[in-house]
Structure 1
Amino acid sequence: MKRALITGVTGQDGSYLSELLLEKGYKVFGLRRRTSTPNFENVEHIKDQIEWIDGDLTDLASLIRAVEISQPDEVYNLAAQSFVATSWSQPIATAQITALGVTNMLEAVRLVKPDARFYQASSSEMFGKVVETPQKETTPFYPRSPYAVAKVYGHWITVNYRESFGMFACSGILFNHESPRRGLEFVTRKVTDGVARIKLGLANELRLGNLDAKRDWGFAGDYVKAMWLMLQQDEPDDYVIATGETHTVREFVEIAFSYVGLDWKDYVVQDERFIRPAEVDLLLGDCTKAKEKLGWKQEVSFEELVKMMVDADIERLSKSQSKMLYNVT
């Protein structure tokens, strides 16, 4: 039985990856940060199948202990302060978690289990103000937020540990990947949650920022398969994971509203508060390398993804409404 240690296990990617590894017969260890109100919503259905270890990316001692306990064959470092907007208001915390946290995790693996295979969650945000389109593994980085700058550090320190210590360390440069488990603060989930609320009569408007920003959106459940595939190769390497299609936020909004029979123009309000200080206008990935070397491919289309998320939010809010009505009566 293979053993895997996952940081960020309760997040969107961590939950889908945990499901995948459990299906493959792994023993899964999840690193969780102690909080007064732990959130297991994404992993509630598999919570009892995961071995939980308390730890924090900013605390090297706790990571060393986690690796000692789990003795992993594979380590997936998915934890980060991952909300781009927050990185401007909390740049120091973002650097400590999203940048230095990667070094701490790599160092813990190097000291305790140097033969473990390591996956680092890099991000398409590293390309930022893109210098070529589409973006591939050799495209230079031009980060446009404290989050993206921190991710660039995490990416290069992973490469450095691979080259300096011979570790099997990979970075997956994942373009935007969404799902019904995406946090409500992210624009895609904000849209589908807003559409569901408007459809159910719980809201009458949706406030958004830049509708012209273009992104390469895929399904998170597809993307975690690429993470696993990277650690099954003979040699460690870095890979771009993307769909090769780009869509505007406006297109996402149009599909979401039209799916429930509404005209988005009647409900969407552009709000300057949600405009980033330094905007990333266009991200479009070239995943040729991943397709050829990993045999990876996307299975869920952009339109299927949007509809899946709208359906999930309508179901969630409908259940909540029913529960409230039941409690009142």
Structure 2
Amino acid sequence: MRRACIIGNSGQDGTLLSKLLSLQEYKVDGTKSNDLDILDPKKVIEYLNDINPNEVYYLAAYHHSSASLPQNTTELFHKSMDIHFHAPVNFLDAIIKSNRPIKFFYASSSHIFGSSGDAMHTENTPYAPLSEYSISKTAGMRACQHFRANKNVFASTAILYNHESPLRKHSFISKKIASTVAKIYTSKLGLLEIADLDAEVDWGDARDYVEAMHQILQLDKADDFIVSTGKLHSVRDFVEAAFNYVGLNYLDFVVTKKNDGFRESIRRLGDFSKLKNETGWQPSIDFKTMVENMVQHEINLINQNS
């Protein structure tokens, strides 16, 4: 039986990946933030020696969209670098010391590219990180590339574009839209406040994206891959699809309101051709279905608690 460990298994991607791997008869070991001190190299080595995995999926993130992030730039840099760079390096080094053929996966982000303008990103697009989050993610990717090229570690990375599911946290706009539409539908009351209906996003379904993660580690050679849909949808498209699903006109319930912390959205569009050519992967769940699944999940939750 193959064995995998997921670092950061309690979030959306970790939960879905754990389910996928279990269905494929893996023995899955997951770690949450309190389970293992991933910043202690000795603890990481002990963990890998104890678990003895075939595959390690590093999904831990100090996420840029979390409302609980510190406002102090220095603290944010330190925490971001700890989770996105220092800890992955500990795992990469531990793999070398284990002297075992462990495959390592690192979840990166489209934010490493900054703004694409009218261009579609490929794996050869220059990195242009604009935030503490994306700078630290870029550093983590560079570490993987270094260990791959110079230390012969099987270290693959995925540059992930926006991917959603009912498991998203409420700090994400997709979850905000789905939950608010469900509340309006069940109570016939309320409004949805949106800062920018015209912002465009390369949105995919998270179930497809964890499938891509797994397929990347089944290749014989480690590499970097973009995981995206290659299609843009506006926030307006998301809102309209959500309200259409429950038979309501979004124009009757949406208010455009930009708060003091509003920032213009950066357009990012990814080309997943390399991944498709090497693994056959492509998105299987369309945008409309993704939105409807999220809204229905929120309706189910309301009905269960009523």
TM over 0.5, shorter chain: yes
2:50 paired with 1:64: no
Residues 182-193 of structure 1: matches in 2 within 5 Å? 182-193=168-179
Decide whether aligned partners of structure 1 residues 4 and 242 sit closer, same or farther in structure 2, where only a CA change above 3 A counts. Answer: same
2:122 paired with 1:141: no
SS at match of 2:56: strand
Q: Which residue of 1 aligns with 2:205?
A: 219
Q: Which residue of 2 aligns with 1:44?
A: none
CA positional deviation for 1:254: 1.2
**CA deviation vs aligned residue, 1:74-131 (integer Å, no higher than 9, x gap):** 0000011123355673443223222322222322323235520000001111112226
Structure 1, unaligned stretches of length 5 or more?
Answer: 35-53, 322-329
SS at match of 1:273: coil
**Does the Cα contact within 8 Å between 1:95 and 1:150 map onto a contact in 2?**
yes
Q: Which residue of 2 aligns with 1:55?
A: 36
**Does the Cα contact within 8 Å between 1:240 and 1:285 map onto a contact in 2?**
yes
Residues 158-237 of structure 1: matches in 2 within 5 Å? 158-201=144-187, 204-237=190-223
Question: TM-score, normalized by length of structure 1?
Answer: 0.85
**Does the Cα contact within 8 Å between 1:6 and 1:75 map onto a contact in 2?**
yes
CA positional deviation for 1:287: 0.7
Residues 1-329 of structure 1: matches in 2 within 5 Å? 1-34=1-34, 54-84=35-65, 86=67, 89=71, 90-130=76-116, 133-201=119-187, 204-273=190-259, 275-277=261-263, 279-321=264-306
Give the distance between the partners of 2:226 and 2:243, measured in 1 at CA. 31
Decide whether aligned partners of structure 1 residues 102 and 209 sit closer, same or farther in structure 2, where only a CA change above 3 A counts. Answer: farther
**CA deviation vs aligned residue, 1:271-315 (integer Å, no higher than 9, x gap):** 4337555x4421111111111111111110001100011011110
**Does the Cα contact within 8 Å between 1:194 and 1:203 map onto a contact in 2?**
no
**CA deviation vs aligned residue, 1:27-59 (integer Å, no higher than 9, x gap):** 11111222xxxxxxxxxxxxxxxxxxx213333
Structure 2, unaligned stretches of length 5 or more?
Answer: none
Give the distance between the partners of 2:6 and 2:26, measured in 1 at CA. 12
* Letter in structure 1 aligned against 2:285: V
Give the distance between the partners of 1:292 and 1:298, measured in 2 at CA. 13
**Does the Cα contact within 8 Å between 1:33 and 1:55 map onto a contact in 2?**
yes
**Does the Cα contact within 8 Å between 2:95 and 2:153 map onto a contact in 1?**
no
Decide whether aligned partners of structure 1 residues 304 and 218 sit closer, same or farther in structure 2, where only a CA change above 3 A counts. Answer: same
The runs of at least 4 aligned residues of structure 1 exceeding 4 Å deviation read 85-88, 274-277
**Does the Cα contact within 8 Å between 1:31 and 1:66 map onto a contact in 2?**
no
**CA deviation vs aligned residue, 1:184-208 (integer Å, no higher than 9, x gap):** 1111111101111111228612233
Give the distance between the partners of 1:57 and 1:190, measured in 2 at CA. 31
Q: How many residues align?
A: 301
